[in-house]
Each structure stands twice: as structure tokens, then as C-alpha cells.
């Protein structure tokens, strides 16, 4: 038996009555202010991303980049909050607008904090003349005919001396300066990424430099926004969560400005996850696994989500993933043999994975020599837990934990590594993990703050870990808290 409902207060609409004119006006004003605020936020973020001089012309010196990125994240937080207060249709329009404008705005300026895209352009150029990208290092004398003033200017950050030799084979290299990083080692990027680089080169106008690549990666960022809006609605989630990807500074900066191929891998990963989450047939599971394999063959980081998708038809999904990877590697393997591995082993050594120096949070509590083994153990435990407990209808939740944990353990100073995590946060709504996506910027700009990279890695990722733990405890307490009873109501 339930008690009688109290009379509605004057001017208040009841559940069954239409809203009063006063309430309709109040809602209209609130929505209008939220729209204006969201648009202003998006416009400010676009300017921050593309033209920081226009916002703070008097701010110069080593701290400017830190202030710029910090302001972009603050504006993003405000904009995301405002968008979530809007009706879904209005929010969708604004999310799409931001998803298009922000990466394009970032693409209007040359790359600010990474030179990886120059290797992409070079690999595409090499393939255009029929040479396998894994065969030669950029400084190889066989490729000197492909050099131009854009990629090989008289003065640059990377210069090959006259007596340099190929570290893998001992062959002499051709001297010269270049904007391509590590010109004396083989490319590290997998075959699907290489196919994308070649395709961009084919469609690029002569002398267009980095702009076509920036536009293509900005296009992948927008395509991922559209995918999220469709996929979230299809899975019964709030499509407004897509703003967490579309307006995120990491997406605008690392996709539009620095043109990292990680955004293409994120798009393929999102597509794979949405297919696998709704896979009711063996054919759908095979397709989802193949898409995941293509994502892995674009950038290796999507391997981290594999444990979360093995709850439904694990053998079929794993086989489809492995087959797709093998299929795209096979032509290169036949052409160049083991050189297809590229600089991956050297990169892992250079980054300190072998010595344990790559794990700054762990080395706070243990000797460096232990850190590598402990890191493997931590990630193994999280992976096994994902395999056992992941929700096959929402695999992105377990994938968020797995990917975020990997970033916390390795603490990279490369913000583009977090693009995959931002995608997963947008799918699952675990916004606390965005703190992990923001942490690399502090480490990236450590020299600007007159700090060591290791110290800023520890500060940034320790703070992010604290945010994640507090949010997890709050969520657990909310789930276990008893439901309050309404006074005067019999149950």
C-alpha cells in the first residue's frame, strides 16, 4: 500500500502533467546557456589547439606549452560537462561540430611536439617507387634519389655523419640531415599503417608537405566520433559520451596536429569492439576478430584489449585476429624476411623495458632490476581478470582497465599512446581514466619545467592513479549503499 502523493508545488509539473509555461521557459534558458557555453568552450579549445599566440600573445618562454595544454584540458572538462546537460539531439550536433572543427583547427599548424609523421611521409614515398618500407633505413645510399628539401633540409635535428654505418648490417650510410627521426634504423610501423602511408602519398598533391597526412588523421578522428555516436546509441548507452573523444585535447593534438597513426588504430579498435559486443553469429565474431587484427597491424597497442573480448567464442575471435595480422604481414615477410620486425626490438631496449628503467612508478618501491618482472606480473593478473570477468556485451569496460593499467605501469611520456584509452573511456563512461590520458603531457614538457622526465612521470601518473582509485572506491560504495526508503511509503 502506498501513501497518497502530496500536492504539487505551484509552478511545478507532476510526472503526468505537461510542464508549465514557467518551467518550459526555464528549461529553454538553461539549454540556451548550455549551448552558448558549449560553443564558446569548443571555439576556445579550437583556438588553443591551433593558435596559442592568439590567446596569449604575451606568454612566451618554456612554460607556454604547459599553460597551453593545461588550459585546453580545463576547457575540455567544462565543455564536456555542459554538453551532458543538453538534450541528446542538441548535444549530438555540438559533438559532431567539435569532432570536425577541433582536429581540423589543430591541422592548421605544423606539428608541435612530435616528428613521427615525417617517417610516415617517407615510408609512403618509398613504397610509391615499389620498394618495401622494411628493406632499407632512410639514410641508405639506395634511397638518396628520393630525398627532397622538405624531409632532408640542410639543417635538422637528425644528422647522419659521413662515417655512419647501418647498425644492423654494417653497410655505409649516406650523410645528410633530416627531419625523419632515427634515420639510421628501420621503420617500426606495422603493415596496415604502411598501406595507409602509401595511400596518403598517392593522393597527396605535389609539394603539399605534411598537410594531407594531418587531414587524413583528422578525418579518422571525426570518423571515430561518428562511430561512437552510432555505437553508443545502438548499445543503449548515452550518445553524449562521445564528447569525451570528440572534444578531448589529446585527440585534437595527436590526430590533427601531430597526425599520429594511433587514431586510425583507435577507429578500427572501436569498430571491432562494437561488432564483437553485438556478435550473435560466428560470422560476426569472425568479422570483429579480423577488425581487431587490422587494428593491431596498424599499431600494436590494441593488443591490450584482446583479453576483454575473449569471453564469447574465444577461439574463433583469437583465430580471426591472428589470421588478419598474419595475412597483412605475409607479403612483407616474403619480400624482406625478418627485417619486417623493423626497429621494434631496438625501440624496446632504447625505452628501457629490458632494464626496468621504463617503469618509474614501480621503481619508487623496488629496485630497477625487479621492475620489469613485476610489471609483467601486474599486467598478467589484470589480463587474466579481464578474461574471466569481462562483460561480452560491454567489453570496453574491462579493456579500459587493462589499457589504463598498462599506461600506469609503463608511464609513457608520449600522449598519443593514450588515444586508445580515450576511445575506451568514451565507450564506457569511466571518465576517471582520462586523468591517465592527461598525465603524459606533464612528462612530455618536463624540460620546460626544469624537471627530469622520470620525476614528472611519477608526479603525473601517481596523481592519475590516485584519481582512478578514489573513483573506483566511490563507485563501489555507491553500489553497496542501501537504497533509501521514502518516508510514509509501505514496501
Reduce the DSSP state of residue 113 to 3 states and report it.
coil
Residue whose C-alpha is closest to residue 196's, from 146, 260, 140, 138: 260
Question: Distance (Å, rounded) from C-alpha 226 to C-alpha 206?
Answer: 31
Q: What is the DSSP string of 451-476?
A: --HHHHHHHHHHHHHHHHHHHHHHHH
Residue 485 pLDDT greater than 70, yes or no: no
Residue 72 pLDDT greater than 70, yes or no: yes
pLDDT value at residue 59? 58
Question: Distance (Å, rounded) from C-alpha 197 to C-alpha 417?
Answer: 19
pLDDT digits (tens, 9 = 90+) for 89-99: 989 998 999 99
pLDDT digits (tens, 9 = 90+) for 368-381: 999 999 999 999 99
Which range, of 183-197, 214-228, 338-352, averages the lowest pLDDT?
338-352
Q: What DSSP character marks residue 491?
A: -
| Arithmetic mean of pLDDT, 84-89 | 89
Q: What is the DSSP string of 34-56?
A: HHHHHHHHHHHHHHHHH-HHHH-
pLDDT value at residue 61? 54
| Arithmetic mean of pLDDT, 178-191 | 96
Q: How confident is the model at residue 15 (pLDDT cuts 50, 70, 90)?
A: very low
What cell numbers appear for 78 in the block?
Answer: 567544462
Higher pLDDT, 373 or 350: 373
Question: Distance (Å, rounded) from C-alpha 271 to C-alpha 279?
Answer: 12
Q: How confident is the model at residue 19 (pLDDT cuts 50, 70, 90)?
A: low
What cell numbers appear for 317 in the block?
Answer: 575471435
Question: Distance (Å, rounded) from C-alpha 349 to C-alpha 372?
Answer: 12
| Arithmetic mean of pLDDT, 50-76 | 71
Residue 167 pLDDT greater than 50, yes or no: yes
What rounded mean pLDDT belongs to the chain? 88
pLDDT digits (tens, 9 = 90+) for 441-477: 887 776 666 777 788 888 999 999 999 999 999 888 8
Residue 395 Ramachandran class (φ > 0 left, ψ -120 to 50 alpha, else beta): alpha
Higher pLDDT, 194 or 157: 194
Q: How confident is the model at residue 277 (pLDDT cuts 50, 70, 90)?
A: very high
pLDDT value at residue 120? 98
Q: What is the DSSP string of 147-210?
A: --TTTS-SS-SEEE-TT-B-TTT--B---EEESSSSTTS-----HHHHHHHHHHHHHSPTT-TT
pLDDT value at residue 64? 67
| Arithmetic mean of pLDDT, 200-226 | 96
Question: Distance (Å, rounded) from C-alpha 104 to C-alpha 350?
Answer: 33
Radius of gyration of the chain (CA): 25
Residue 395 pLDDT greater than 50, yes or no: yes
Amino acid at each position: 500500500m502506498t501513501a497518497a502523493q502530496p500536492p504539487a508545488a505551484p509552478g511545478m509539473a507532476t510526472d503526468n502533467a505537461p510542464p508549465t509555461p514557467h518551467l518550459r521557459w526555464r528549461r529553454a534558458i538553461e539549454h540556451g546557456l548550455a549551448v552558448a557555453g558549449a560553443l564558446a568552450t569548443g571555439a576556445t579549445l579550437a583556438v588553443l589547439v591551433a593558435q596559442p599566440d592568439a590567446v596569449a600573445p604575451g606568454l612566451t618562454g618554456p612554460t607556454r606549452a604547459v599553460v597551453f595544454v593545461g588550459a585546453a584540458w580545463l576547457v575540455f572538462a567544462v565543455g564536456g560537462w555542459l554538453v551532458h546537460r543538453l538534450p541528446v539531439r542538441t548535444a549530438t550536433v555540438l559533438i559532431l561540430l567539435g569532432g570536425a572543427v577541433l582536429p581540423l583547427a589543430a591541422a592548421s599548424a605544423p606539428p608541435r611536439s612530435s616528428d613521427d609523421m615525417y617517417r610516415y611521409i617517407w615510408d609512403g614515398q618509398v613504397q610509391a617507387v615499389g620498394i618495401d618500407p622494411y628493406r632499407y633505413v632512410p639514410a641508405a645510399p639506395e634511397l638518396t634519389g628520393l630525398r627532397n628539401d622538405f624531409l632532408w633540409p640542410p639543417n635538422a635535428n637528425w644528422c647522419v655523419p659521413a662515417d655512419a654505418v647501418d647498425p644492423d648490417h654494417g653497410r655505409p650510410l649516406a650523410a645528410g640531415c633530416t627531419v625523419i627521426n632515427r634515420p639510421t634504423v628501420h621503420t617500426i610501423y606495422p603493415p596496415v599503417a604502411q598501406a595507409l602511408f602509401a595511400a596518403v602519398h598517392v593522393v597527396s598533391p605535389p609539394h603539399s608537405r605534411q598537410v594531407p597526412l594531418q587531414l587524413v588523421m583528422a578525418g579518422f578522428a571525426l570518423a571515430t566520433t561518428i562511430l561512437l555516436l552510432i555505437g553508443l546509441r545502438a548499445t543503449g548507452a548515452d550518445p553524449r559520451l562521445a564528447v569525451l573523444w570528440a572534444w578531448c585535447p589529446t585527440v585534437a593534438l595527436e590526430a590533427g596536429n601531430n597526425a599520429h597513426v594511433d587514431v586510425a588504430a583507435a577507429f578500427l579498435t572501436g569498430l571491432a569492439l562494437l561488432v564483437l559486443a553485438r556478435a550473435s553469429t560466428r560470422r560476426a565474431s569472425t568479422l570483429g576478430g579480423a577488425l581487431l587484427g587490422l587494428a593491431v597491424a596498424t599499431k600494436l597497442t590494441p593488443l591490450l584489449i584482446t583479453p576483454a573480448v575473449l569471453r564469447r567464442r574465444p577461439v574463433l575471435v583469437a583465430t580471426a585476429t591472428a589470421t588478419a595480422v598474419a595475412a597483412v604481414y605475409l607479403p612483407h615477410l616474403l619480400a624482406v624476411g625478418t627485417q619486417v620486425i623493423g626497429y621494434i626490438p631496438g625501440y624496446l631496449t632504447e625505452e628501457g623495458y629490458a632494464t626496468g628503467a621504463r617503469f618509474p612508478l614501480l621503481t619508487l618501491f623496488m629496485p630497477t632490476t625487479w621492475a620489469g618482472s613485476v610489471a609483467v606480473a601486474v599486467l598478467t593478473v589484470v589480463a587474466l581478470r579481464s578474461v574471466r570477468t569481462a562483460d561480452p556485451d560491454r567489453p570496453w569496460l574491462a579493456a579500459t582497465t587493462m589499457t589504463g593499467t598498462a599506461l600506469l605501469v609503463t608511464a609513457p611520456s608520449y600522449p598519443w599512446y593514450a588515444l586508445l584509452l580515450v576511445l575506451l573511456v568514451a565507450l564506457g563512461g569511466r571518465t576517471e581514466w582520462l586523468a591517465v590520458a592527461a598525465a603524459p603531457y606533464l612528462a612530455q614538457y618536463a624540460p620546460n619545467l626544469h624537471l627530469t622526465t622520470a620525476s614528472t612521470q611519477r608526479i603525473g601518473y601517481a596523481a592519475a592513479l590516485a584519481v582512478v582509485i578514489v573513483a573506483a572506491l566511490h563507485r563501489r560504495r555507491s553500489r553497496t549503499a542501501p537504497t533509501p526508503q521514502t518516508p510514509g511509503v509501505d514496501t
